[in-house]
Amino acid sequence: MGTRPISLLVLSLVVCLSSLAPWRAAGQTGTYAPPRTPDGHPDVQGIWQVLNTAAWDIQDHHAQLGVPAGTGVVDGNEIPYLPAALTKKYENFGNRHTVDPETRCFLPGVPRITYMPFPFQIVQSRNQVTILYEYLHAVRHIFLNGEHPSGPIEWWMGDSRGRWEGDTLVVDVIHFNAETWFDRAGNHHSEALHVIERYTPAGPDHLQYDATIEDPKVFTRPWKMSMTLYRRKDPHPELLEYECFAYKFEAEWQK
Amino acid sequence: MKRHSVVLVAALFGALWAPVAGQKYGDLGGCSDEPQQFHQCATAKMKEFNPPRTPDGTPDFRGHWSRAGVFGTDNIEEHGPGLGDPGGKSLVVDPPDGKIPYQPWAAAAKAGYEHTHMDPAALCYLPGSPKQLYTAGINQILQTPDSVIFLNDYTHAYRVIPTDGRPRLGPHVRLFMGTSRGRWEGNALVVEVTNQNATTWFDHVGNFFSDAVHVIERWTMIGPDAIHVEARIDDPKVYTRPWTMAFGLRRNADPAFEIWENACHEGNVLRWPGTDLTDHLKLYFGARPPN
């Protein structure tokens, strides 16, 4: 009997804390409360980079010449290809050193741009989140207050529309072309690709990044990639350049 | 034939980036859009205009902008009309004759480039500084408490300009866009740009600089919808003295405007050796003064 008032106190504290922090239910980490921008959104600005090998292969893979071994970023490791699409993936893999659009220095699409082994910078404005990528100086304008334009549109990087769900920046991306791959290993999609990205602060220097992939022309069901984004902590971090096609021109012309 | 190819490329650029009817542009601070006239007018206006401020108290450049006081990028010196460029006065405001003060070797080199080399812009190369600021198309300026960011829609070029007093990069880091360091002087943003790899030109006719170039840009608002930009170009390898060009930026006042994808390299059919253009013209690897 004597414990009841304490239990009630604990319960009311829990209820109280929950009501003070309702957004936490949506986040995956639960406990970290990120700093806020002047507009009241979680502040995810800064220079970030992955520490994984997904650019070479998003699935489990052993090392090859120039390719570090890696554990995959695909939940469950299996990608649910339709039969014809699986055949194409194997073909792509066999021709990957010449056929991967990235070898021609084309914009790598979403989410591949996220896990290219280069830093990127997130900048937040009131109605927009802008991501500047060192790789190919790619830019994504993620609009927070607009709708996808009506298609059909085929863009290399798609059309990104964002919203905040609790502490998570959720970005809906459609209007892709079918020209990009998910990795050097030949994992592919069609122009019907629909990506839902989730950027969730997991600590002052970490973002949890999840990308749900839907493409009924290529996959039997939606599937998901997950990885950590790490904040660059160098004394004065700064994006430099990787102008892939310019270096390729120079190499071609110097032959 | 050679000349024809280059002009054709320039024309494509001009046609692609002509202003679209229906876009809403703000007033150019009451100044003329004519090069030279704009500079004189803006120099007077900037003394009296009190710019809007960000929450941090710095002049607020945020928004979408297009070049003003410059009608094309065929030639930054005075020139006649061409395909995609109506012609006009020089953007060079110092020296007063509007001519880039080339050293003799550099003047000779420049005269040849147009006929022997592909314009790096035709290959979708990044524009460098200050060309980024007078490139065609729509641009966006973002500001954070410790940086100003200038983005072009054309080739999705961007430049992050830290204003936090950080040190420069070492001289061996060479970048198409260089590295920028900004500071506030009164109402002006002063940006010093170094570390450019100098494999781009100022314009389509091959006006050029070397990797020793030191650019000092001054951005000053002269009205709620107008920015004056002055760029002092110092390059002791190429010129006999520092020189200055001036131009402007005019606000795209459509609040719903969005920059969409510009995949320049991906759609560029002129890009590889063996195509018609590359049969006749060489790749520009940058200028070297004679030893």
A19-69, pLDDT tens digit by residue?
Answer: 444 344 344 446 899 999 999 999 999 999 999 999 999 999 999 999 999
* pLDDT band with cut points at 50, 70 and 90 for residue B83: confident
Percent of chain A clearing pLDDT 70 (strictly above): 88
- Assess if residue B258 is contained within a domain: yes
Does residue B287 lie in a domain region?
no
Residue B219, in any domain of the structure: yes
pLDDT band of residue B114 (cuts 50, 70, 90) is confident
For residue A16, being part of any structural domain is answered with no
Q: Report pLDDT for B11.
A: 37
Report, as an integer, the average pLDDT of A164-175: 98
Q: Is A253 close to B273, i.e. CB distance below 8 A?
A: yes
Q: What's the rounded Cα separation, in Å, for the pair B177 and B215?
A: 11
Closest CA to A225 of A191, A200, A198: A198
Q: Is the pLDDT of residue B285 over 50?
A: yes
Residue B16 domain flag: yes
Would A63 be classed as within a structural domain?
A: yes
Is A135:A116 a contact under the CB 8 Å cutoff?
yes
Residue A120 pLDDT class (50, 70, 90 cuts)? very high
The domain of A51 spans 39-253
- B278, pLDDT greater than 90: no
Asked whether the beta carbons of residue A107 and residue B266 sit closer than 8 angstroms, the reply is: yes
The pLDDT of A83-87, averaged and rounded, is: 98
Res B21: pLDDT: 43
Total number of domains in chain A? 1
Say if B288 falls within a structural domain.
no
| Residue A143 touches chain B, beta carbons under 8 Å | yes
Position B15 pLDDT exceeds 50: no
- C-beta separation of A209 from A221 below 8 A: no
CATH number of the domain bearing residue A45: 2.40.128.20
In a domain, A79, yes or no: yes
Please give the tally of structural domains in chain B.
1
Q: What is the structure's pLDDT at B158?
A: 98
> In terms of C-beta density within 10 A (0-12 exposed, 13-18 middle, 19 or more buried), how is residue B53 classed?
exposed
Q: Answer yes or no: is pLDDT of B75 > 90.
A: yes
Q: Flag whether A7 is in a domain.
A: no
For residue B146, what are the domain limits?
A: 2-280
| Contact between B149 and A138 using a beta-carbon 8 Å cutoff | no
Measuring CA to CA, how many Å separate A68 from each of A59, A63, A237, B238, B290?
13, 5, 25, 46, 45
Find, in chain A, the residue whose alpha carbon is nearest to that of B200.
Answer: A246
Residue A183 lies in a domain: yes
Asked if residue A221 has pLDDT above 50, the reply is yes
Domain-embedded: residue B92: yes
Residue B235's identity, in one-letter code, is: D
Is B90 part of a structural domain of the chain?
yes
At B209 the pLDDT is 98
Quick check: A94 pLDDT over 60?
A: yes
Question: Rounded mean pLDDT of chain B?
Answer: 89
A245 shares contact with chain B (CB less than 8 Å): yes
Q: Does residue A59 sit within a domain?
A: yes
Strand bridging mode A159-165 / B243-252: unpaired
Q: What is the pLDDT of residue B289?
A: 83
Cross-chain residue pair B160–A155, CB shorter than 8 Å: no
Tokens of B279: 């049969």
In a domain, A80, yes or no: yes
